[in-house]
Amino acid sequence: MNLTLRIWRQKDSSAKGKMVDYKVTDISEHMSFLEMMDVLNEQLVNSGEEPVAFDHDCREGICGMCSLYINGEAHGPDRGITTCQLHMRMFKDGDTITIEPWRAAAFPVIKDLIVDRMAFERIQQAGGYISVNTSGNTQDANSLPISKHAADEAMDAATCIGCGACVASCKNSSAMLFVGAKVSQYALLPQGQVEAADRVRNMVAQMDLEGFGNCTNTGACEVECPKGISLDNIARMNREFLKANVKG
């Protein structure tokens, strides 16, 4: 395939960015999207130009590092996948592909297609954990009966990889699906009950402090989420938040 790539280029966080067009040729439909980006960068380096900076790590849909807004969709036109799992067979010869970074005030651009997602880390640090003494005094897991339904729902919430697609796809740049998933994975289990009230209050407060918007109720986050995190987690977070504030 021969393609035109319209890519956001920005030298650093303080520089003014712009869209720049590049041509790539002989792209195999069997390539992943990031392999196609590698081809472009090799082409740029060979011609003495600055390669396009973009995030990636495992390239297996696990780490959540790859985060490209492709043709107006977080992670591109496929569903249930991250950018690294997107393949070029989703495009046609002669296509123009627009590639941008996540767009959110809380995710400032570092360079080109790389954004700073430390806001998610600070939300996690505010309460996304349980305080457990692990120095040989932990209870045996089997001593705490947990229903299959609760275990499954907790595991579903825990599959969130923190990529930020929910924020990028939301008109308000809301992080409520991310925070809802992180709150839910503990709220559903007995280990998370001790700190439940403080956890949800602190994580929601940090989310607001980071400048994320409120939920739009349009469901775009769930549609674009590569792990299919359910909107039920936002509802659960809201219930947990209400309960924590009523109890004081």
Rounded distance between C-alpha atoms, residue 132 and residue 113, angstroms: 38
Strand duo 73-74 + 114-115: pairing:
unpaired
φ/ψ of residue 108, rounded to 5: -65, 145
| CATH T-level topology, domain 3-100 | Ubiquitin-like (UB roll) (3.10.20)
Domain with CATH 1.10.1060.10 in the chain: 117-130+144-247
Q: Which residue has the tokens 């002669």?
A: 94
Quick count: other Cβ atoms within 10 Å of Cβ 82?
29
Domain with CATH 3.10.20.30 in the chain: 3-100
Q: What is the pLDDT of residue 132?
A: 76
Q: Which residue has the tokens 């249930």?
A: 80
Give me the amino acid identity at 172: N
Q: What is the pLDDT of residue 186?
A: 95
Q: What is the pLDDT of residue 140?
A: 72
What DSSP character marks residue 96? Answer: E
Distances (CA, A) of 44 to 33, 60, 116, 210: 17, 25, 24, 36
Q: Which residues of the chain fall short of a pLDDT of 50? A: none
Q: Which residue has the tokens 């990889």?
A: 161
Rounded distance between C-alpha atoms, residue 130 and residue 102, angstroms: 30
Q: What is the pLDDT of residue 131?
A: 85
Q: What is the pLDDT of residue 134?
A: 66
In 3-state terms, what secondary structure has residue 84? helix
CATH superfamily of 117-130+144-247: Alpha-helical ferredoxin (1.10.1060.10)
Rounded distance between C-alpha atoms, residue 107 and residue 208, angstroms: 14
Structural contact between residues 210 and 121, judged by C-beta atoms closer than 8 angstroms = no
Rounded distance between C-alpha atoms, residue 170 and residue 37, angstroms: 26
